[in-house]
Chain A
Amino acid sequence: MSEPILIAQDLVKYYGDNHAVDGISLQVARGEVFGLLGPNGAGKTTTISMLTGLFPPTRGTILVDGIDLAKETNKAKAKIGLVPQDLALYPTLSARQNLRFWGRIYGLRGKLLHDRVEEMLQMVGLTEKGDKAIDTYSGGMKRRINIAAGLLHKPDILFLDEPTVGVDPQSRNAIFEGVEELNRQGMTVIYTTHYMEEAQRLCHRVAIVDLGKLIALDTPTGLIRNLGGGLILVGLGEGQAEAVAREVAGLPAVKAVTPVDTQLKIEANQVQEALMGILDATGRLDARVTSLEILEPNLESVFLHLTGKKLRQ
């Protein structure tokens, strides 16, 4: 990995007895598109909030391009751009008025401010409609202006928090292309999403967060490779899972078996071979198979395997 632009060390955030984030450490390389995945309540939003300086961690340190966020807050924040999930814009003001405001907040003035605003409007394809109030825009147009507001000051690190929620396919594609273009220009992007195909398409590396902890961090390919040939979910009759698990665990095509109530979660090196062995074992043990599901090896199945939950759960 090249030189890290963002280092988070042992981040902890407590709300009373609730450990929203419990010891997350990660490094993001300069020029990387870094995915942060996690189900609702996993601690993903709290992590992003701490990394962007929205509030400080209970414990831990964050360095933005070598600058300690806690000690030189404004200097570090100037290097960060945030595109929040909510449309954090003023609906009755025009797109230009909104962008000018956010530009001034980041210290842009005069011609530079004017040029940046026009550049961003052009980038998101809204130059012609720049003087219309935001509340007259479609959902996709609002999202595009929301992104433009985060890019005005050309940050070193751009946080995109679920940028495609509620966006039509055309605008979604435009956002993907925009992110890829920004990355080509050298911008580091930290991207959170519920959509696995987005993470697989855009992210160089992906971190999976659950219950406030970082449970996996690798390239999408690496994560999928770890899962092996695929994931097989077998539903069994009451009290039969343990016995079948013992039988199946010894099969050469099976990498790992995890019983969860009346279900077995089986990681397979070779799905077909493993399936034959599983059916053979259930037959021998006279176990009743109530359901059978085979998951292709992708980030979705990796996520399910690691957290026991579907991503949008």
Chain B
Amino acid sequence: MNILNIAWKDLQLFVKDRGRLITAFLLPLVFILAFGYAYSNFTTESTRLVSLPIVDLDGGRMAQSLLEMLTPDRGVEPKLYKETEAQPLLAEHKIDRVLTIPAGFSQAVAAGEPVTLRLVNHPEANESDTVAVVTVLGGLSSDLSLQTQLISAFERMGQMMFGVPAGAEAFSTDVIITQARGQFERAKTAPLIDVEKKTPETILAQRADEPNAMEIAVPGMAVLFLFLSAGATGLAIYSEKKLGTFRRLLTAPLRRSEMLSGKLLAAVLVVLLQTVVIFAVGAWLMPLLGMDRIALRNLPALAVVSLLVALCSTSLGVFLAAVCRTEGQISGMASAVLWIAGAVAGAFIPQFLLGNVLGAIGKVTPQYWAISAYSDVIVRGEALTGIGPQMGILALFTAAFFAIGVWRFKFDA
């Protein structure tokens, strides 16, 4: 009962602390909005060339025309591969995608028959790059279709007018223009060349989707701010020492373990409440603001990850309160170490862009594994069995923080 009394008192103190409310709820939302917007834009603002490996099984005139039209000013960098070379490279993710020009492509296009270009993407290929390639190919195919159909139409008209005396032509200029317009519309609505975007089934099973901007921003920012709460937990414990309320509680009929447990319960509840608010915003509020929506695909797994993150953050708070001697040290640790740890863990830069060095540094932080676990659950809909390593490492961090924190803990200032 005393645990609940202390937890309830701490929740009352939390509600009265405007600064903490802003840090816990408002700041994460502002950061999610800002970074979500940035993530949704940074790829379209890029001017780099997108690599486009091509396997040409046709080798005909139309295929050659298509290859010639894939110039750097369209934002792509074509490179020819043999089919036997390209498949293993794609499987090992040494290339992101392969465009295959099928055998008979030129003949089919010349005959005015529909034909499909096949674009196979690796599941971890950058989605924005894929969209850019499909857009470019779509435009080129449309141009090529139009060009082919116009040439074909003019050839038929030429054959019909062969041998007709001057002044007795069956088609005036107006008729030719009308014919050309009709072919243009037809090429748009029923192109001869279609682009089929595909992901290999075997690899598709490993990853159902690519993250959208919110699915990158929300886990990162959630973890950043959930772990920043460790600083607030540490300060709340220090405050009890400074005020002398711990001393007073020590003279009351309750155990020390009840005192600490009550404080930890309140801290865990606050972090869980933060989690609910942040993910609810990502799932329901952000779409209303025109942003992407995060898919809450596996709620039980999400709940378990959130509970472990809350325990880890709270244990870190106990650790900070135990090892720091002053209020300034706790604030300093919270504002410097936790922000930096969050940054190298992938809170600001998506983990897949961290690179080898930052990625390796990030792995020594609990935040890295928390972001990774959240991403796997949200983006890939992973069950708990699929995020076992991340959960295990987070549990180890939690146990270590708690053990050191309790071992070094002093109730008196």
The interface of chain A, by Cβ under 8 A from chain B, is: 52-55, 73-75, 77-78, 80, 82, 84, 86-93, 97, 101-102, 104-107, 133, 149
B245 and A88 contacting across the interface, CB-CB below 8 Å: yes
The interface of chain B, by Cβ under 8 A from chain A, is: 2, 5-6, 9, 12-13, 16-17, 243-245, 247-255
Pick the most buried of A53, A80, A88, A105: most chain B CB atoms within 10 A of its CB: A105
Shortest C-beta distance, A103 to chain B (Å), equals: 10
In the A-B complex, the 3 residue pairs with the closest CB atoms: A86-B244, A74-B253, A88-B248
Contact partners of B249 in chain A: CB under 8 A: 105
Known contacts A87-B244, A89-B243; A53/B250 CB under 8 A: yes
B243 and A86 contacting across the interface, CB-CB below 8 Å: yes
> Within the assembled complex, what's the spacing in Å between the Cα atoms of A97 and B9?
8
Q: List 12 other contacts, CB 8 Å, given A88-B248, A92-B13.
A: A53-B251, A54-B251, A74-B254, A77-B251, A86-B243, A87-B244, A88-B243, A97-B12, A102-B252, A105-B252, A106-B253, A149-B248
A77 interface neighbour in B12, B13, B253, Cβ under 8 Å: B253
Contact partners of A105 in chain B: CB under 8 A: 2, 5-6, 249, 252-254
The residue on A at minimum CB distance from B254 is A105
Contact partners of A84 in chain B: CB under 8 A: 244, 247-248
A93 and B12 contacting across the interface, CB-CB below 8 Å: yes
Contact partners of A90 in chain B: CB under 8 A: 9, 13, 243, 245
Contact partners of A101 in chain B: CB under 8 A: 5, 9
B5 and A52 contacting across the interface, CB-CB below 8 Å: no
> Within the assembled complex, what's the spacing in Å between the Cα atoms of A133 and B15?
13
Contact partners of B5 in chain A: CB under 8 A: 101, 104-105
Q: Would you mind naming 21 contact pairs between A and B with Cβ atoms under 8 Å apart?
A: A53-B250, A54-B247, A54-B250, A73-B253, A77-B251, A78-B253, A82-B248, A87-B244, A88-B245, A89-B245, A90-B243, A91-B243, A92-B16, A92-B17, A93-B13, A105-B6, A105-B249, A105-B252, A106-B252, A106-B253, A149-B248
> Within the assembled complex, what's the spacing in Å between the Cα atoms of A91 and B5?
17
> Within the assembled complex, what's the spacing in Å between the Cα atoms of A75 and B253?
7
Interface residues of chain B: helix, strand, loop or mixed (majority): helix
The residue on B at minimum CB distance from A48 is B251
Contact partners of B13 in chain A: CB under 8 A: 90, 92-93
Shortest C-beta distance, B248 to chain A (Å), equals: 4
Known contacts A97-B12, A104-B5, A105-B2; A88/B244 CB under 8 A: yes
Contact partners of A73 in chain B: CB under 8 A: 253
Shortest C-beta distance, A113 to chain B (Å), equals: 11
The residue on B at minimum CB distance from A83 is B248
The residue on B at minimum CB distance from A91 is B243
B251 interface neighbour in A52, A97, A104, Cβ under 8 Å: A52
> Within the assembled complex, what's the spacing in Å between the Cα atoms of A62 and B191?
97
Shortest C-beta distance, A91 to chain B (Å), equals: 8
The residue on A at minimum CB distance from B252 is A105
Shortest C-beta distance, A267 to chain B (Å), equals: 40
The residue on A at minimum CB distance from B249 is A105
> Within the assembled complex, what's the spacing in Å between the Cα atoms of A104 and B248?
14
Contact partners of A53 in chain B: CB under 8 A: 250-251
The residue on A at minimum CB distance from B18 is A92
B251 and A82 contacting across the interface, CB-CB below 8 Å: yes
Contact partners of B244 in chain A: CB under 8 A: 84, 86-88
Shortest C-beta distance, B23 to chain A (Å), equals: 16
